[in-house]
Amino acid sequence: MACIVYDDMQGKSATNTGKGRKAELIARAHLVEAGWLIIDSNQYIAGGELDLIAIDPKKVLVFVEVKSAWTETSGRPQAQVHRKKQVYLWRAASAWIARHKVKDQRMRFDVIAIRMHQGCVQIEHLQDAFAGPSASY
């Protein structure tokens, strides 16, 4: 995993919310650079938050969960997407799909793990990170 030099958000004054939003901006930029279309973000719905909702280059609807770690001892960010979190994401994605009347669309759940330490950003994109209750709606 390559290191991308970025401004250091690790300072004591940075809040967890601020760090999370910064990680989402990094993930968004990463996806857009790879040719993805971001169609929605930061949606609180049905008891869960959907960080990024995008269409990938293959026209798949992707719900992207962004997780970050800001110290070397924080562990792997993607480990925070445990089964209970997945259920919240499934529920929120299903509600978002119903609200937007999405039909006959392939979809999946991805996780983007952002690790930052001393201005170095590492991005790990886990496609199809976990299965939802159905592969299409």
Query: Which tokens is 84 given?
Result: 């209970």
- Assigned CATH topology for domain 4-10+26-130: Trna Endonuclease; Chain: A, domain 1 (3.40.1350)
Q: What is the CA radius of gyration of the chain?
A: 15
Look at residue 55 in the predicted model and tell me its pLDDT. 97
Sequence letter at residue 84: K
Instruction: Please give the model's pTM, rounded to 2 decimal places.
Output: 0.81
Residue 83, CA distances (Å) to 43, 64, 87 in order: 20, 16, 6
94-137 pLDDT tens trace: 999 999 999 989 999 999 988 877 778 889 898 988 876 544 44
Checking if the pLDDT of 73 tops 80, the result is no
**All structural domains of the chain with their residue ranges:** 4-10+26-130
